[in-house]
Amino acid sequence: MSDIYVPGVKSRFSTEKLVEDLMRVERLPKDRAEKNIETYRNEKTHWQDLGRRINSLRDSARQLFSFQNPFSDRIVVSRDDSVISGTATREALEQERNFTVKQIARADRFLSVPLEDSFKVDEGTYTYAVGRDEISFTFRGGSIRDFVDTLNRRGRDKIHADIIAVQRGAKSLLIESLVSGAESRLSFSGDAEKLAIRTGMAERIADSYREVSLLAGMVTESGQTDETGLVSVADNTLTVAAGGGATIPLNPPVQPEPSLVISFEITTNVRPWEPPPAPQQPPGPAIPGAGSVTYGGITLENDPSSTPIPPWTPPPLPKQVDDLRVLSLGLADGTASRLPAIEDSRTFKRYQYPLSDFSGGKAVVSVDFLNRNTNRDVSIRNIRIFDPDAPSGLKPRNPVSIAQDAVIFMDGIEIQRPSNRIDDLIPGVTLTVKTPSDRPVTLGVEPDREGIKEGIFSLVGNYNRLMAEVNVLTRTDERVIEELSYLSPDEQKELRDKLGKFAGDSTLNQFKNTLQQAVSSPYPTLMDQDLSLLTQIGIGTDVRKAGATAGYDASRLRGYLEIDERVLDIALQDNMAAVQQFFGNDTDGDLIIDSGVAYAIDRLAKPYVETGGLISLKTGTIDSRIDQTERRIDTMDRQLSAKEVTLKNQYAQMEEAYNRMEQMSTSLEQFSQQSNNNR
């Protein structure tokens, strides 16, 4: 059926195929142009990939000598991270300290007795306090869950509540402070106090809290000398100058209870000691003259008086006195019990002692202050006597934890902080106290050698990847790909597509040679004149370890770097400053790096990747070629379209003429046949 010709439906001479064959020949220049565009785009991608490799190498080089270089980073190394750990900033000095953690900081966490699921919280105004911060809200009454949700919404970052299923069918209410430290006790007032008692969270006891007021009329001066004016009171702070003394009465006396403690804050002002001038010998008694008598012009003088004076012995000079045991407790039987020695501090430091350790079961009637020092003034404030487990007269019945400060010893010095995170003890170091321990733990601030190694590894890795990229682009031998054993199959395929694409490009060959020269050149350091080459810190093109089999290895001739980590570790441990200068050094003292291998790599890479650099010029030239070729293709498309229309018209006219001729021939045949029939 395909051979049947239907006029107007099927072309007698396969016109469409003829036109298509002719147009295929006409399209050959366009096809070549399109292939050129694909080639240009691949070249552009190769240059862009190369630019990214160079940028990565430059970035890793700059990280080793820039302001944020890892040589200035510090880390804290703890011999026991489970007890105490820390972090350090770049400003921290290298040092080593010994810490003993006596106790960690805690916050108040109080648990109620088990409550039935049907337990309801009454309507009211509930007020909680965490230290000096107060949280108060009105509750309309409801279930424990409703109360917990309301408290958590109002508690902000100070207080939190939760429901703990301690038994099947019964739950306990947990209310906790979110702020640690002895000064951040959790207390209840108003309806919150009633709820705490009702749920068995706390119980009321006798209020033993006593805050001793320091007023001028309530303090008695009682120094050991006749000098007055050595005691002063201002702003509820008592100051006793050197040589003075004072008595602070407690009225009524404090009865001894095992749970009571006394706390106070003390600061000292130590003045320079200057011994008084040595006393001079006294002049002795004044003896009047013996007198005389005159008679008849003759004067007789009396013999002078004779008064024997004993030899003068100068009194001993006063000695400097340093006595830090300035406080004692006056007891009901007239005796006194001295408190432990304080420490010199320019700021107020808090002390706290159990009364039972010093009262001996006797009532305490006064706090006595005796400053025997010769050049130390002492001030005291915030004297309080209280039960630490019963703030505001309420004592928790089932405390999960009681608020307390963290207490640590640094090199034998007691340190007290309200938080387990301490950032004001060692400049640039933040400590984290984790658990008490009687065993001292050594903490050291050291350079971040692992971070430095990572920076050096990054530099060497980026250098090798760039060198591999250049080798693949400029060579046609597939061995340059096979030598890269670390590549994945996809990466190998990608590199095979790039193999030899820029084999004749002199720019890349020059760049490769210059880069190899940069990493092999000497860079003298001021800290160690002997350290000037990468190989001296274990980095080079052939750093085989001792005992390794020597022999020819073509890959070692292509400029790749290797790292002997053992040699690098020794260099970083013993000669850190010289290694830092080797990568980036300021040789003229203007605080600008102007030498070093990382600096040289950065300078070498900059003209290639900066704005308007060589990579940009290469890709810009390719873009211009692509634009020109695309314009040519557009022109050829228009020409080809016109050509195709022309050919189709011509073949259509040819077929039309042929059809007319065929019709005429048919008509003639019919006419001839008809004429023959008529004869």
pLDDT at 544: 61
For residues 11 and 656, give the distance between their C-alpha atoms in angstroms, rounded to a whole number.
10
In the structure encoding, which two tokens stand for residue 633, read together?
Answer: 């293709």
Q: Which residue has the higher pLDDT, 290 or 464?
A: 464
pLDDT number for residue 224: 63
Q: How many CA atoms lie within 13 A of 127 on its CB side?
A: 7
Tell me: pLDDT of 3 over 50: no
pLDDT, position 143: 93
pLDDT of 10 strictly over 60: no
Q: In a 3-state reduction of DSSP, which class is residue 408? A: strand
Instruction: Identify whether the C-beta of residue 260 lies closer than 8 Å to the C-beta of residue 356.
Output: yes
At 125-138, the pLDDT tens digits run 999 999 889 999 99
Listing DSSP states for 208-233 in one string gives --EEE---GGG-EE--SSS----EEE
Considering only residues 274 and 248, tell me which one the structure prediction assigns the higher pLDDT: 248
From 67-71, 292-296, 348-352, 626-630, the region with the lowest mean pLDDT? 292-296
What pLDDT, on a 0 to 100 scale, did the predictor assign at position 679? 65
Q: Is the pLDDT of residue 457 over 80?
A: yes
Range from 64-68, 142-146, 668-672 carrying the lowest mean pLDDT: 668-672
Average pLDDT over the chain, rounded to an integer = 86
pLDDT given at position 206 = 61
| CATH class of this structure's domain 210-271+321-386 | mainly beta
611 pLDDT above the threshold of 80:
yes
**CA–CA dist 351, 405 (Å, integer):** 12
Query: Looking at the predicted structure, is the pLDDT value of residue 308 above 90?
Result: no
Contact 186, 128 (CB under 8 A): yes
Residue 29's alpha-carbon distances to 24, 33, 37, 635, in angstroms, are 10, 6, 13, 12
Q: What is the mean pLDDT of residues 250-259?
A: 84
pLDDT for position 223: 65
Mean predicted confidence (pLDDT) in 576-585: 93
Higher-confidence position of 421 and 672:
421
Checking if the pLDDT of 525 tops 80, the result is yes
Say what percent of the chain tops pLDDT 90.
50
Q: For position 9, what pLDDT does the model report?
A: 45
- Confidence category of residue 556, pLDDT binned at 50, 70, 90: low
Instruction: Say yes or no to pLDDT of 451 above 80.
Output: yes
**pLDDT single digits (tens) 150-168:** 999 998 889 999 999 887 7
Beta partners for residue 174, in sequence order: 111, 162
Model confidence at 184: pLDDT above 50: yes
Amino acid 225: pLDDT: 63
Decide which of 147 and 667 is more confident. 147
H helix or E strand, kind and range, residue 262: strand 261-270
What would the DSSP string read from start to end of 488-504?
-HHHHHHHHHHTTTTTT
pLDDT of residue 391: 61
| In the predicted structure, residue 546 carries a pLDDT above the cut 60 | no
In this predicted model, what pLDDT tens digit does every residue of 92-123 receive, in sequence order? 999 999 999 999 999 999 999 999 888 999 99
Task: Identify the pLDDT of residue 13.
Answer: 61
Q: Could you count the other beta carbons within 10 Å of the beta carbon of residue 205?
A: 13
Q: Which helix (H) or strand (E) holds 130?
A: strand 124-130
Give me the pLDDT at residue 4, please.
43
Please state the rounded mean pLDDT for residues 229-242. Answer: 89
Domain ranges of the chain: 60-69+450-546+553-607, 109-204, 210-271+321-386
Contact 378, 368 (CB under 8 A): no
pLDDT for res 552: 47
What angle do helix axes 614-678 and 15-26 make, rounded to 10 degrees? 150
422-437 pLDDT, tens digit each: 999 999 999 999 999 9
- Is 493 exposed, middle or buried, given 0-12, 13-18 or 19+ CB atoms closer than 10 A? exposed
If one compares 659 and 459, the residue with the highest pLDDT of the two is 459
26-58, pLDDT tens digit by residue? 878 888 888 888 988 999 999 999 999 999 999
Of residues 301 and 242, the one with the higher pLDDT is 242
Q: What is the pLDDT at residue 207?
A: 57
